[in-house]
Each structure stands twice: as C-alpha cells, then as structure tokens.
Amino acid sequence: MLCCKVWCALVIPTHISLRLLRELQKANDDPVWEDHPELLLWLLYIGGAFTTTETVRSDYVILLRLNTSSRLRGLYKSWQELHEILKRFIWSDAAFTPHVKALWEEVTI
C-alpha cells in the first residue's frame, strides 16, 4: 500500500483506487485511450497496485487483461518494457515497483 505517516491508518488510497476504477470502467470504450494508451496503462497499474480490497484488485486485473488483449496489445512484452513506460509518468521505484510488479505478475499469469 502506498503509505506515509499521514495515510497509514486511513483508507484514502483504497477509496481513490475504487473511484478511479469506476471511472476507468465507464470510460473503457472512450476513443480518447486510442491516442493515450500509455496513460491508460499507468492509471490501471497504479490504481490496481495500491488497493487493499481484493474485489477492487480483481476488477483492475480484469480491466488490464481486457485492454492488454486489445488497445494495449504490442505496447510492451516484458516487465522491463512496462517499467520504462510507467516511469514516463509520476513514479518512484522505491514506492511503486514492488506493488506494480506484483500486479503485473498477477495479470500475466
């Protein structure tokens, strides 16, 4: 979980992740993602990696798999390629990599 002294005892990250998921589900068919697939990829991985709710995480996995087989196809083939894309946006290796890589492993099994 993305955590600092202020957020450790709060559910703000999970709440934000759930809200983001709902918006991404509603906008999944929006053609805007055709021009911004890397942003969609970052939003899906960051949102899914930091939720503590299993059902929300499962919904992110479903949405990631759906998009990986369609509009995100060919964008990346390995963790290293995905990592390079994600680092183009707000990124901290120390804070994000373990959680996002775990989600990537879950999505790719």
Q: pLDDT tens digits for the chain (109 residues)?
A: 455 555 544 445 788 999 999 999 999 999 999 999 999 999 999 999 988 899 999 999 999 999 999 998 889 999 999 999 999 999 999 989 999 999 999 999 8
Per the structure, how many domains does the chain have?
A: 1
Query: Helices (H), strands (E): how many in the chain?
Result: 6, 0
Residue 85 lies in a domain: yes
Domain that holds residue 99: 12-108
* Cβ partners under 8 Å of residue 42, min gap 6: 85, 86, 88, 89
Residue 58 lies in a domain: yes
Residue 54 lies in a domain: yes
Residue 50 lies in a domain: yes
**Distance of alpha carbon 41 from alpha carbon 14, whole angstroms:** 19
Whether the CA torsion 36, 60, 101, 109 is positive or negative: it is negative
Residue 26 lies in a domain: yes
Tokens of 50: 């930091």
Q: How many CA atoms lie within 13 A of 35 on its CB side?
A: 3
